[in-house]
Amino acid sequence: MRPWLLLTAVLFPGVAAAGHDVSLGVTAVTLTNGGVYNVTTPRLGLDATYAYELGSWRLGGGLRWAPSGRGNLPVEVYARALLTPQLGRWRPAVGPELGVSGLPVILPPEGGFPDDLMRRQASQLGPAYVAVHAAPLRFDFRPFTVSALELQWGTTLNQPGATLRLQFGLVHLGVTL
């Protein structure tokens, strides 16, 4: 057994059984509400995921770290349930993601805006979000998986539709244990 697989099995007890997938990837997240808080520059980050394959479903979650830019704790924790049909080596995935994010940033308004604008903007940017996650270019080369150009579209839960969350998974490399 390779040393890094052994290390993964030691760090995550019970993960060494077949059907468990761990992956690392690079992602870009953009959060906007179309108003004063209109940050269109994506925040680059790292994404570590775990999934358990149960038939055509991938159940799991992960941790996303996006240190670029200003803001709260630049970490997100999430859970997902993805439907993944098997079409040869091609394993596209789509499904909901529910998470808690520390990424939203309130930019100080400039130029004659009301004093309570930052408070009103902050009320629209709650930490909990819901999103639809799609990985159309996901391939399985047992025991490795490769995914590129993933897309996620979502909003915060405290005021659905008040903010837009876009995430682009640039590349994910994983291993099935």
Q: What is the pLDDT along the chain (177 residues), one digit of tens a residue?
A: 455 444 444 444 444 445 899 999 999 988 776 555 555 678 889 999 999 998 899 999 999 998 876 656 789 999 999 999 988 999 999 999 999 988 765 655 666 666 666 666 666 677 899 999 999 999 999 899 999 999 999 988 887 877 788 899 999 999 988
DSSP 110: -
Angle at 136 (CA atoms; ends 130, 140), nearest 5 degrees: 115
Classified as helix, coil or strand, 16 is: coil
**Candidate CATH numbers 3.40.50.300, 3.20.20.70, 1.10.3470.10, 2.40.160.20; the one for domain 20-176:** 2.40.160.20
pTM, to two decimals: 0.79
